[in-house]
Structure 1
């Protein structure tokens, strides 16, 4: 039996993460497969670029967890090797080449860090509430800069991040709100640290920019609620949660379960999002990633 909301009772908040909201905004059908259907439909194979990003993120988290005296470039490389997975690569040779490449990025990045400058948090879960949402997310790193905290997000995609990406990222805006609410400290700055290029993109949020992100997130949550209620009331789930077919169907995790997506675009090789390699090396398809 559904809970009846009596007058004066608090509004029930929609529990959301940035990835949950992004999934619906990209394709309602994909959202349904991931968050509504049970059992969850089978997913396709792992992607090599995701394996790269996951290993780099895990190595950096573990590096900051080491005693200060052990935070060396050598330790960072070893942590990457330990976290490495060959899932999604064409073969062991390609996996080994990309492991060495990622280790080079990590070495260059760690050399620029002060190992004694303890982050306020690494892989820290934060949360905040709005009028309609209970937002939560996990921040790669939270730095102390003067009197304020800074949200740091690691990136390993093909192209360097831009300030516009930092400004427009719904996830980074949610993290700012979460850091403010969870840690009770001022926070306005977000940074995208792109390890392959060694560049940093940044944006200073204002109350207005955060309010714009909240409004868009709440609009998506309303659409999710409407679709979920329609399906629960008997509407065809494929109608309540329509597909948004396009080239993105080539790499959707739920492609094996979506005939519409299969017809929309051909499948891609699981290593095709790796950046182009040096001319002397086997070239992969040039494509950006979300890692």
Structure 2
């Protein structure tokens, strides 16, 4: 793999991911070496294989998957808290269906509530701090300033979701949890220098229609950077650890999904997709192509066809894996002796746009 002058990578078609140590100072330009000295950067090949979410998953993988979905759901709660006006699909919900159709049913059709977790709440809090950090003038975007944003953002989170406060029985528990959030923010500052970055957009809600039918594709992007030459970088923060080499498919699908929506709505294909893992200080990048976007569309159509078929037949068959140990709905799952609730009248048609077979 060789680095282009613009900071991209030429991967030569290998199916494996590459990790490298990047030196030099931080540079906030899109496509530039926007990494602090010694940061581990993994450039993913254009043909990195998709891997089923239940193949070779470890306990750490399972925990990080649960955290990631919960954080994304919290960011989208203002959109998804109300019944959808038309069928829609986000990267998280697509991955839900691939992971377990029964899980997809519980979340999308039954819309069952899920208990909060301290790890997911911490992820939501850190995302909020990083969003508001860029409200400050560039010279003031320091680690101390980020830590200073925590109390107000915690108060906002608690006001929106009071049940999160019940996770901390003692003040010492809350203090320890906030300290762990400070540590994640400290890791962020080893990855980028926010004083040299001016995001074009933050917490951006994107959506587009598929041609010739299909769902409304939607998602929320943490950050969009645009360089003077028009190059676009899509950035997503992850508060967990980076996936093992060869198991990046879920995260990469999410970013390709975002790239596709931006390409369809703005006519510009992002130059770089960048995930920043604060759990272990790793940056994962990918440079999408227009040919790849056709593959993304075909993949999304295939997933949606599977969802429509399950909605029509009522066959939301559970798919068991290590992720089941962290599923909020395990007690209701037929794979573990549970009984799913009766689907509310009209819920399938409202959520999927399909009338179940009689």
TM-score normalised per structure 1: 0.71
2:184 is paired with a residue whose SS is helix
Number of the residue aligned with 1:107: 186
Shift of 1:100: 1.5
In structure 2, relative to structure 1, the CA distance for the partners of 1:164 and 1:191 (3 Å cut) is: farther
In structure 2, relative to structure 1, the CA distance for the partners of 1:220 and 1:92 (3 Å cut) is: farther
Shift of 1:16: 1.3
In structure 2, relative to structure 1, the CA distance for the partners of 1:100 and 1:71 (3 Å cut) is: same
Kept in 1: contact 2:118–2:167 (CA 8 A): yes
**Following the alignment from structure 2 to structure 1, what is the Cα–Cα distance between the partners of residues 309 and 198?**
44
Number of the residue aligned with 2:102: 29
In structure 2, relative to structure 1, the CA distance for the partners of 1:164 and 1:192 (3 Å cut) is: farther
Kept in 2: contact 1:47–1:89 (CA 8 A): no
Shift of 1:137: 0.8
Q: Deviations over 1:99-135 (max 9, x none)?
A: 2132133134247424353201111011233333431
**Following the alignment from structure 2 to structure 1, what is the Cα–Cα distance between the partners of residues 318 and 249?**
28
Number of the residue aligned with 1:181: 264
Shift of 1:241: 0.9
**Following the alignment from structure 1 to structure 2, what is the Cα–Cα distance between the partners of residues 185 and 160?**
28
**Following the alignment from structure 2 to structure 1, what is the Cα–Cα distance between the partners of residues 293 and 271?**
9
In structure 2, relative to structure 1, the CA distance for the partners of 1:262 and 1:148 (3 Å cut) is: farther
**Following the alignment from structure 1 to structure 2, what is the Cα–Cα distance between the partners of residues 27 and 164?**
17
1:66 partnered with 2:136? yes
Equivalent residue in structure 1 for 2:216, among 134, 147, 150: 134
In structure 2, relative to structure 1, the CA distance for the partners of 1:186 and 1:156 (3 Å cut) is: same
Kept in 1: contact 2:271–2:288 (CA 8 A): yes
Number of the residue aligned with 2:233: 150
Q: Deviations over 1:158-179 (max 9, x none)?
A: 3467697279622101111222
TM-score normalised per structure 2: 0.59
Runs of 4 or more consecutive aligned structure 1 residues displaced over 6 Å after TM superposition? none
Number of the residue aligned with 1:191: 274
Equivalent residue in structure 2 for 1:249, among 306, 320, 324: 324
1:136 is paired with a residue whose SS is strand
**Following the alignment from structure 2 to structure 1, what is the Cα–Cα distance between the partners of residues 243 and 90?**
25
1:218 partnered with 2:293? no
In structure 2, relative to structure 1, the CA distance for the partners of 1:142 and 1:123 (3 Å cut) is: same
Number of the residue aligned with 1:55: 125
**Following the alignment from structure 1 to structure 2, what is the Cα–Cα distance between the partners of residues 70 and 130?**
42
